[in-house]
A and B are shown apart, each in its own frame.
Chain A
Amino acid sequence: MASNEEMIIIEGLTKQFGALTAVNNVTFNVSKGEVLGFLGPNGAGKSTTMKMLTGYLPITSGRASICGFDVEDQQLDARKRVGYLPEGAPLYGDMTANAFLGFIAEVRGFSGSEKSDRVALARDRLGLATVFNKPIETLSKGYKRRVGLAQAILHDPEVLILDEPTDGLDPNQKHQVRELIAEMSADKAIVISTHILEEVSAVCSRAVIIAEGKIVFDGSPDELAGRSPTHNAVTVRVAGGADAMKAQFEGLDAVQTIEAADDGERLIIIPKDGTAIIENVSALVRAKGLEVEEIYVDRGQLDDVFRHLTLNT
C-alpha cells in the first residue's frame, strides 16, 4: 500500500439530535501513517464524530468510510478494521483483564494459539502483566484505560480511533501511551481526541480543531503553533532589568511590540506575522555588547491559539 493511502474518508458528516446540530458538515481524510489529533472544547462534537466513524451512532447526513468500506452500508467490514477506545474506556468490571481480552479476541474471530498470542502481545504492549488476573473493577483508573487500549489494538487494526486515550493517566503512563501510539503509527491511520494540547505536539502529525460541530482548523501542529501571536517571539533576560533594557531593542525590523514579562526581568520581543527574528535580535545583542543571561525562541502558546479558534466562531 502506498504511504499516502487514505484510510479514513469523511465527507460532509452531520449529526443532529433533534434541533441540536452536534456535528455540522465535517470533512477530512486521514492517511496511513498519520496521527490525527482531534481537538475541541467539551461538547464540540469530537466524541459524536468518533461514534459515527465506528458505527455506534447513525449518521444524519454525509458519508464516512474506513479502508474503503462505508461505515453504514458495509458496517461489519468497516468495524473489523477499526480499533476503538470509547470515551471513558467502558469495560466489564466483573471480568479479569485476561478474560476480557480473551472475549474481545474471540469476537474478533481469533481462537486457539492465535487468540492467546494476541492477548499476550496486547498485555505486554500495555504493561498489564501484574494486574492481568484481577477483576477490572478493582484496577486503578490508569490500568483500566490501558485495558481499554489493549482491547483496541488487539487485532492489529488498520485504523485506530481513540477517544481521550491518556485521560486519567499519570505523566509516566501518558509518555508510555504516546510512545505506543508513535510506534504503531507507521502502518496505521490513528485518530486521537484530546484536550491536552501538549499531546498534539508530542504525538500528532496533524491537528484538526472542531468547535460547535464545525472544523475551525486543519493543519500540522507547527502551523497551529504558527497561529500564535507569540510564535517566534524572542525572550531575553539581560542584566539590568527589563524596563531599563527595553530601549536597547527599539527599532528592530519586523517587530510588533516589546513588552516586559510579568517577573520584570525578561523582555518578550514579539515579531510581526510570526517572522523569525532571532538572528536580528542576536546580531543586535552582539553589536551593542549586551550581557544576556538567557535567550530563547517561543514556539507559540497553543492554549492561546486554541482559545482564539474555538471562542471566535
Chain B
Amino acid sequence: MRYSWVIIKRELAAYFATPLAYVFIVIFLAMSGALTFFMGAFFERGQADMTSFFTFHPWLYLFLIPAVSMRLWAEERKTGTVELLLTLPTPTWTIVLGKFIAAWAFISIAVAMTFPLWITVNFLGEPDNGVIVASYIGTLIMAGAYLAIGSCLSAVTKNQVIAFIISSVVCFLFLMSGLELVQSFFQGWAPEFVLDALRSLSFLTHFNTIIRGVIDLRDVIYFASMIGVFLYANAAIVDLTRGS
C-alpha cells in the first residue's frame, strides 16, 4: 500500500500539472448543470430533490470517464515510462491500484464540486438529504466501475484515442445491457437466464435503485465486483503487454 500511496500522489499531481484537470472539472460542471436544468427540468418539476441531477450521470460518465482513464496506461506505454515504472521494486498491482485510486479521487473532486446544487435544493425546499447522500455515494461507486473498465482497456493499446473509443463502447454496453437495445439482440435465441444475467449486469438498473434512496448491498457488491474484476484484468494485461 505504501507504493500505491506514492503512485497516487504522483498521479494526482500529474492531473493538476496539466490543463487536463481544469478542463475536465469545468466541462463536467457545465454539462451536468445543463443536463439538470434543461433536460432534467430541475425547476419545472417543482420538487426539492436532485433526481434530475443524478439521472444523467450514467450518460455523462459514458464519455467523460474514458477521457480520464484513456491516458492511464496508454500514455505510459507510448512514452516508454512504463518500462521505468515496471522495473521499480514494486508489484504491478500496487501501481494499477494507485493509478485507479488517483483517478477515482480526481473524479470525486469534480463530483464534489457540484455541492452548490445541494445547497440550492435545501434553500428552495426540504429535500430528503438521506436520498441525496445515498445518490452521491451511488454515483461515485458507479464512476469507479466505469473507471476500472477504462483503466483496464487503456492498458490494451498505446493509442489513447483507441483506448477512449473502446472504453466508451464497453461502458455503453454495460450501461445498456438491461435495455431493449441490447436485450433485443439476444431475445428469441438466448435462454431466459442469459437475458436475466445480462439485465443484472446493467449499470442503469443498479444505479436507478440507488438514486431512489435505497443503498442495497447487492448494488454495492455489484459495482465493487465490477471494479475488482476489471482491475485484476488490468494488472494481468499490464504484465502480458510488457515490452510490446
Q: A51-B243, A95-B17 are in contact. Are A107 and B79 (CB under 8 A)?
A: no
Q: A86-B80, A86-B83, A90-B80 are in contact. Are A95 and B14 (CB under 8 A)?
A: yes
Q: Which of B17, B79, B242 contacts A57 (CB 8 A)?
A: B242
Question: Please, which residues of chain A bring their CB within 8 A of the CB of B229?
Answer: none
* Contact A92–B91 (Cβ < 8 Å): no
CB distance from A146 to the nearest CB of B (A): 15
* Contact A90–B88 (Cβ < 8 Å): no
For chain B, residues 12 to 70, give those with C-beta under 8 angstroms from any C-beta of chain A: 13-14, 17-18
* Contact A79–B89 (Cβ < 8 Å): yes
Q: A55-B87, A56-B83, A80-B89 are in contact. Are A94 and B243 (CB under 8 A)?
A: no
A295, CB-defined interface residue at 8 Å: no
Q: A79-B89, A107-B88 are in contact. Are A92 and B3 (CB under 8 A)?
A: no
Q: With A and B bound together, what is the CA distance between A93 and B75 in angstroms?
A: 11
A297, CB-defined interface residue at 8 Å: no
Q: Which of B6, B81, B86 contacts A91 (CB 8 A)?
A: B81
For chain B, residues 158 to 182, give those with C-beta under 8 angstroms from any C-beta of chain A: none
A103, CB-defined interface residue at 8 Å: yes
* Contact A90–B87 (Cβ < 8 Å): no
B10, CB-defined interface residue at 8 Å: yes
Q: Which residue of A lies closest to B10 (CB)?
A: A103
Question: Please, which residues of chain B bring their CB within 8 A of the CB of A104?
Answer: 88
Q: Which of A77, A86, A103, A135 contacts B87 (CB 8 A)?
A: A86
* Contact A54–B87 (Cβ < 8 Å): yes
A286, CB-defined interface residue at 8 Å: no
> Which of A90, A99, A108 has the most C-beta atoms of chain B within 10 angstroms of its own C-beta?
A90
* Contact A94–B18 (Cβ < 8 Å): yes
What number of A residues sit within 8 Å (CB to CB) of B? 30
B84, CB-defined interface residue at 8 Å: yes
* Contact A107–B3 (Cβ < 8 Å): yes
* Contact B84–A99 (Cβ < 8 Å): no
Q: A86-B87, A99-B13, A108-B89 are in contact. Are A58 and B79 (CB under 8 A)?
A: no
Q: With A and B bound together, what is the CA distance between A88 and B80 in angstroms?
A: 8
Q: With A and B bound together, what is the CA distance between A107 and B84 in angstroms?
A: 11
B225, CB-defined interface residue at 8 Å: no
> Which of A56, A88, A93, A135 has the most C-beta atoms of chain B within 10 angstroms of its own C-beta?
A56
CB distance from B16 to the nearest CB of A (A): 10
Q: Which of A76, A87, A103 contacts B6 (CB 8 A)?
A: A103
Q: A57-B242, A103-B10 are in contact. Are A79 and B88 (CB under 8 A)?
A: yes
A208, CB-defined interface residue at 8 Å: no
Question: Please, which residues of chain B bring their CB within 8 A of the CB of A99?
Answer: 13
For chain A, residues 121 to 154, give those with C-beta under 8 angstroms from any C-beta of chain B: 135, 151
Question: Please, which residues of chain B bring their CB within 8 A of the CB of A58?
Answer: 242
Q: With A and B bound together, what is the CA distance between A107 and B89 in angstroms?
A: 8
* Contact A90–B10 (Cβ < 8 Å): no
CB distance from A109 to the nearest CB of B (A): 8
Question: Please, which residues of chain B bring their CB within 8 A of the CB of A82?
Answer: 87
B122, CB-defined interface residue at 8 Å: no
For chain B, residues 229 to 244, give those with C-beta under 8 angstroms from any C-beta of chain A: 242-243
